[in-house]
């Protein structure tokens, strides 16, 4: 990706502290280290490829160069720890809304993008983007957080490994056209920057409400994998903190992390 091209595509210059690399092990790991050294809020690190891209739940994120957008953003919000998960919800919602709007402008129609709790973007049952949030604490308070985003842009099925091919999609596959990555990235960062103060530090109820309109499986039977355990129930609601309320035999149970599956995945 062209650094100058990204810079030129921002609505306003000077909002972000941008660094772009041809290759990094992981933009999250890099920026997390920079955070320890005092990197300012709105630092952004982009890599064309990652050699050790990280996914949620200790998984890896396939990150060959040329077809996707791989980047991390550092924030230093004054946020109570219990509301941290709302950053996941906000990021996923903002990215989905931005991509839908962009596709509508450029292709006339927009593929419906759904959210899978807490922060995956899906199109027609396949994963388009994943988000990895990493937080650093000082004296039990949130010090900074790094939001890492991997967005599949121009991949064809052959560009995905055998392992993820059946479950992965890209903007190109969903819209039938190539996407220029630099303006897409700059446009998302601008959208995030402008939308963020509308919800943080306090407008959480409306954030959760908007998220609920796009989330998959609400009101439906799901199973949740959290590390070693798989539990089943009905996805009843989200709490004010963005946690999932699972109902099992009439009892409500709070899920703070995990992978959600609809029941077609059972067996």
Task: Name, in order, each residue with C-beta under 8 angstroms of 35's C-beta and a sequence gap of 6 or more.
Answer: 43, 74, 136, 143, 144, 146
Task: Name, in order, each residue with C-beta under 8 angstroms of 29's C-beta and a sequence gap of 6 or more.
Answer: 52, 54
Kindly tell me the sign of the dihedral angle through the C-alpha atoms of 141, 198, 93, 43. negative
What is the spatial distance between Cα 265 and Cα 222, in angstroms, rounded to a whole number?
A: 9
Residue from 118, 150, 242, 258 binding ligand BTN (CB under 6 A): 150
| Residue 70 touches ligand BTN, criterion: CB under 6 A | yes
Nearer Cβ to ligand BTN (237/261): 261
CA–CA–CA angle 78, 235, 263 (5° rounding)? 130
| Residue 54 touches ligand BTN, criterion: CB under 6 A | yes
Shortest CB 85 distance to ligand BTN, Å: 14
Q: How many residues bind ligand BTN (CB under 6 A)?
A: 20
Residue from 18, 20, 99, 131 binding ligand BTN (CB under 6 A): 131
| Residue 53 touches ligand BTN, criterion: CB under 6 A | yes
Task: Name, in order, each residue with C-beta under 8 angstroms of 225's C-beta and a sequence gap of 6 or more.
Answer: 57, 258, 259, 261
| Residue 116 touches ligand BTN, criterion: CB under 6 A | no
**Token digits of residue 113:** 């993008």
| Residue 259 touches ligand BTN, criterion: CB under 6 A | no
Shortest CB 140 distance to ligand BTN, Å: 26
86 within 8 A of 208, measured Cβ to Cβ? yes
| Residue 59 touches ligand BTN, criterion: CB under 6 A | yes
Residue from 35, 118, 130, 258 binding ligand BTN (CB under 6 A): 130
In this chain, which stretch among 5-13, 14-22, 70-78, 91-99 interacts with ligand BTN, using CB under 6 A? 70-78
Kindly list the residues in this chain that would bind ligand BTN in the complex (CB under 6 A): 26-28, 50, 53-56, 59, 61, 70-72, 120, 130-132, 148-150
């Amino acid at each position: 990706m062209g650094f100058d091209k990204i810079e030129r595509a921002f609505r306003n210059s000077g909002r972000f502290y941008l660094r772009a690399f041809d290759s990094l092990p992981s933009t999250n790991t890099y920026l997390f280290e920079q955070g320890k050294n005092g990197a300012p809020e709105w630092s952004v690190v982009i890599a064309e490829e990652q050699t050790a891209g990280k996914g949620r739940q200790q998984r890896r994120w396939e990150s060959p160069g040329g077809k996707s957008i791989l980047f991390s953003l550092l924030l230093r919000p004054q946020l109570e720890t219990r509301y941290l998960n709302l950053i996941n919800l906000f990021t996923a919602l903002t990215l989905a809304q931005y991509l839908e709007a962009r596709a509508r402008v450029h292709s006339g129609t927009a593929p419906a993008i759904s959210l899978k709790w807490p922060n995956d973007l899906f199109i027609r049952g396949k994963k388009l983007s994943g988000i990895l949030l990493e937080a650093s604490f000082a004296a039990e308070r949130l010090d900074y957080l790094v939001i890492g985003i991997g967005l599949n842009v121009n991949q064809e099925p052959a560009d995905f490994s055998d392992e993820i091919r059946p479950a992965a999609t890209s903007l190109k596959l969903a819209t039938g056209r190539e996407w220029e990555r630099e303006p897409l990235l700059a446009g998302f960062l601008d959208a995030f920057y402008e939308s963020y103060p509308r919800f943080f530090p306090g407008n959480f109820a409306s954030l959760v409400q908007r998220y609920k309109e796009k989330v998959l499986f609400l009101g439906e039977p799901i199973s949740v994998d959290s590390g070693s355990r798989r539990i089943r129930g009905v996805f009843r609601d989200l709490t004010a903190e963005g946690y999932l309320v699972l109902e099992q035999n009439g009892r409500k149970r709070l899920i703070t992390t995990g992978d959600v599956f609809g029941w077609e995945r059972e067996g």
